[in-house]
């Protein structure tokens, strides 16, 4: 089936204490976003990518696409006020019945195996939300106190959140709600539940300086294994 | 006030796919556990340490203590059937009114700053449980479905979990319960609530091979800053 990936890279890098937005920081000599796009392009030769960027970084995005030297169709569009609006802008370019991946531009360690796994489950069940079980104890804050959660029931949610287009597009016609933290929460407003799938502990979101250390090291190890 | 640290290092390393238990894997040429002990010893010259190890690794623990070349009192004891039993065994050596740290042996990136912060809050409020806010979306499994949790209310719990001895020791006279996943959950059976404190994203628990990459890199950076 036709595949689209909406890659959302709208961050401004405030948590990194860095002038450069984190999606453009270099890892192994290439921008974070290059690695992310490369993962999808090398999994599916026929994938179409919609790259959502802040207005100020559209030229940077064009340079990355040139460096990828791919024949795949990659459309750059401007992000919206929130994640929901950015993704909705991107979904306007999904014009064929398809499997749609929505992915954080800064999750540059995503593997072919995980992308493939999400594709297959979305085809079969309509959705695939990669998740891993918490390693540490988890507490939930309730006002001034906290209660412990059963760790075996806590799932840390990742991307690519993957859906059949015929299910995802109608869900995104809903109006914006502050509770929309990801695509799964939007999808659920359609009345359908989402199906989780085993994620990957290495599929981290580059958020803090330590994450860059991890990513650099993981990419170096993978490159050595090739 | 007098300080004790109960360092629990009972893991067998199954998740690492490694023959060597993870607390003995070398980082920057020294065992994980060496780094952990060193962090406490360099924060407080007068701290007394109770190191809880599996029977099979007691000799390894003795070698690490020799390599630390410290005058601090370090007692090695054998672990129990569960974390609760191991810590309870350790607390038998807490004989003076004190602040007691209970720490995972494999959290070797713990900093002086965090240890000091836990000490001060435990002195003032009776307990200090380091925690960080989740970076990713979180879902809670309920049978076949999942519900999204408000991420801003989710806390990932770390160690050292730190308490006034006069509050912690009575709590540990309770009988074992499967819900005891850490010391905070035991402490709460006494009827007292625990006080969270800002943890540290770098204070990871060495669990998977990627964690070793992180730890190696973080220790190398810190060593370069000295």
Rg, C-alpha atoms of chain B = 17
**pLDDT attached to residue B150:** 87
List the 36-95 stretch of B: residues with Cβ below 8 A of A: none
Q: How far is A101 from chain B (nearest CA, A)?
A: 17
Q: Do B218 and A218 touch (CB under 8 A)?
A: no
More confident residue, A221 or B108: B108
**pLDDT attached to residue B13:** 45
Chain A environment of B194 (Cβ under 8 Å): 146
pLDDT at residue B35 tops 60: yes
pLDDT at residue A50 tops 80: yes
Q: Do A141 and B151 touch (CB under 8 A)?
A: no
B29 touches chain A (CB under 8 A): no
Q: DSSP letter string over A174-191? A: SPP-TT--SHHHHHHTTT
Chain A environment of B185 (Cβ under 8 Å): 137, 148
Measured CA distances, B199 to A117, A136, B180, B214 (Å): 35, 13, 21, 17
Q: Do B218 and A202 touch (CB under 8 A)?
A: no
**pLDDT attached to residue B144:** 85
Q: What value does the mean pLDDT of chain B take?
A: 92
Q: What is the ipTM of this complex?
A: 0.88
Question: Taking the CB of residue A51, how many other CB atoms lie within 10 A of it?
Answer: 25
Distance CA A47, CA A45 (A): 6
Q: How far is A177 from chain B (nearest CA, A)?
A: 14
In which residue are the tokens 């109960």 written?
B6
More confident residue, A225 or B74: B74
Q: Do B181 and A214 touch (CB under 8 A)?
A: no
Nearest to A158 among B136, B148, B155 (CB): B136
Between β-strands A48-53 and A74-78, what pairing exists: parallel, antiparallel or unpaired? Answer: parallel
Q: How far is A220 from chain B (nearest CA, A)?
A: 11
**pLDDT attached to residue A12:** 52
**pLDDT attached to residue B12:** 52
**pLDDT attached to residue A58:** 94
* Banded model confidence at residue B109, pLDDT cuts 50, 70, 90: very high
Q: What are B32's two structure tokens? A: 């994980």
DSSP bridge partners of B78: B53
pLDDT at residue A18 tops 70: no
Q: Give the least confident one: A114-118, B180-184, B207-211.
A: B207-211
Helix or strand (DSSP H, E) at A122: helix A112-125
Q: How far is B6 from chain A (nearest CA, A)?
A: 18
Question: Taking the CB of residue A150, how many other CB atoms lie within 10 A of it?
Answer: 13
Nearest to B140 among A146, A153, A185 (CB): A153
Looking at residues A182-205, what average pLDDT do you find? 95
Q: What is the pLDDT of residues A113-171, one digit of tens each?
A: 999 999 999 999 999 999 999 888 999 998 888 999 888 899 999 999 999 999 999 99
More confident residue, B209 or B63: B63
Q: In 3-state terms, what secondary structure has residue B181?
A: coil
DSSP bridge partners of A68: none
List the 117-176 stretch of A: residues with Cβ below 8 A of B: 131, 134-142, 145-146, 148-149, 151, 153-158
Chain B environment of A182 (Cβ under 8 Å): 137
Q: What are B78's two structure tokens? A: 């054998």
B214 touches chain A (CB under 8 A): yes
User: Among A11, A138, A223, which would you mutate to test the B interface (most chain B Cβ atoms within 10 Å of its Cβ)?
Assistant: A138
Nearest CA in chain A to B153: A141
In which residue are the tokens 């109608």 written?
A170
A193 touches chain B (CB under 8 A): yes
Chain A environment of B155 (Cβ under 8 Å): 138-141, 146
* Banded model confidence at residue B11, pLDDT cuts 50, 70, 90: low
Nearest CA in chain A to B179: A150
* Banded model confidence at residue B190, pLDDT cuts 50, 70, 90: very high
In chain A, beta strands by DSSP E: 2-8, 26-27, 30-31, 48-53, 74-78, 98-104, 127-133, 138-142, 145-149, 154-157, 161-164, 196-198
**pLDDT attached to residue A224:** 86
Q: What is the pLDDT of residues A51-105, one digit of tens each?
A: 999 999 999 999 999 999 899 999 999 999 999 999 999 999 999 999 999 999 9
**pLDDT attached to residue A13:** 45
**pLDDT attached to residue B225:** 82
Distance CA A159, CA A200 (A): 10
Nearest CA in chain B to A203: B210
**pLDDT attached to residue B44:** 97
Nearest to A153 among B141, B182, B201 (CB): B141
Helix or strand (DSSP H, E) at B156: strand B154-157
Q: Do A146 and B196 touch (CB under 8 A)?
A: yes
Percent of chain B with pLDDT over 70: 96
Measured CA distances, A11 to A16, A83, A140, B6, B150 (Å): 11, 10, 27, 42, 21
Q: Give the least confident one: A118-122, A208-212, B97-101.
A: A208-212
**pLDDT attached to residue A17:** 53
**pLDDT attached to residue A219:** 93
């Amino acid at each position: 089936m036709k595949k689209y990936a909406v890659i959302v890279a709208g961050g401004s890098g405030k948590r990194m204490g860095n002038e450069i937005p984190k999606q453009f920081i270099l890892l192994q000599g290439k921008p974070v976003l290059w690695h992310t796009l490369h993962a999808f392009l090398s999994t599916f030769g026929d994938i179409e990518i919609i790259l959502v960027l802040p207005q100020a970084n559209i030229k940077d995005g064009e340079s990355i696409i040139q460096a990828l030297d791919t024949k795949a169709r990659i459309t750059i569009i401007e992000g919206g006020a929130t994640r929901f609006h950015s993704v909705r802008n991107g979904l306007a370019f999904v014009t064929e019945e398809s499997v749609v991946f929505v992915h954080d531009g800064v999750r540059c360690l995503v593997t072919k195996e995980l992308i493939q796994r999400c594709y297959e489950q979305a085809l079969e069940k309509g959705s695939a939300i990669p998740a891993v079980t918490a390693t540490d104890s988890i507490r939930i804050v309730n006002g001034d106190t906290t209660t412990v959660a059963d760790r075996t029931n806590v799932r840390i949610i990742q991307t690519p959140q993957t859906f059949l287009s015929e299910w995802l597009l109608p869900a995104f016609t809903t109006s914006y709600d502050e509770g929309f933290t990801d695509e799964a929460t939007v999808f659920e407003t359609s009345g359908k539940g989402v199906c989780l799938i085993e994620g990957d502990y290495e599929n981290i979101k580059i958020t803090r300086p330590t994450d860059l250390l991890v990513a650099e090291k993981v990419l170096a190890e993978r490159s050595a294994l090739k």
